Amino acid sequence: MVREAPAMTVRQNLGELLNEIQYRGDSIVITKSGKRVAAIVDIALFERLHTIDEDRALQLGNRAQTLPAVPPNECLVSIDAAQADAEGFGRLAALLAQIDLIPEREDAYDPLPWDEHGLPQ
């Protein structure tokens, strides 16, 4: 069971709370001014969480080691190229959106006659 206790209560009743955690498997969430600030859990749960955390750190470290080293200048060139592509696609999308709106607008001046398929004649 998880329950909340103010920091002052934890301070005054630490021995009793530790027994609840050790023998009943409870967890205590400590609050300070109504905000959750810490938790006391049994050692088995703490060790499982710690093992998961270590495994995750090891996996992230292994991933970082397997990635090829890229010089910073190459990264900047790649970022600039991707940004230029994105800007170009954005302009193209805006243009296509405007073109799509031309036949539907009643006040749009269109010098081309259109056929029933929406194509210029």
Who wins on pLDDT, 29 or 83?
Answer: 29
The CA-based angle 54-55-57, given to 5 degrees, is: 65
**Superfamily for domain range 2-66:** YefM-like domain (3.40.1620.10)
Pairing of strands 2-6, 35-40: unpaired
Q: What pTM, to 2 d.p., does this model score?
A: 0.48
Average pLDDT over residues 11-40: 92
Tens of pLDDT, residue by residue over 65-105, are: 666 676 767 667 777 777 777 777 777 766 666 665 555 55
| C-beta atoms surrounding 21 within 10 Å | 17
Among 25-34, 51-60, 64-73, 79-88, which range has the highest average pLDDT? 25-34
Within the chain, all domains assigned CATH 3.40.1620.10 are found at: 2-66
Q: Which helix (H) or strand (E) holds 27?
A: strand 27-32
CA torsion sign for 40, 43, 47, 49 is negative
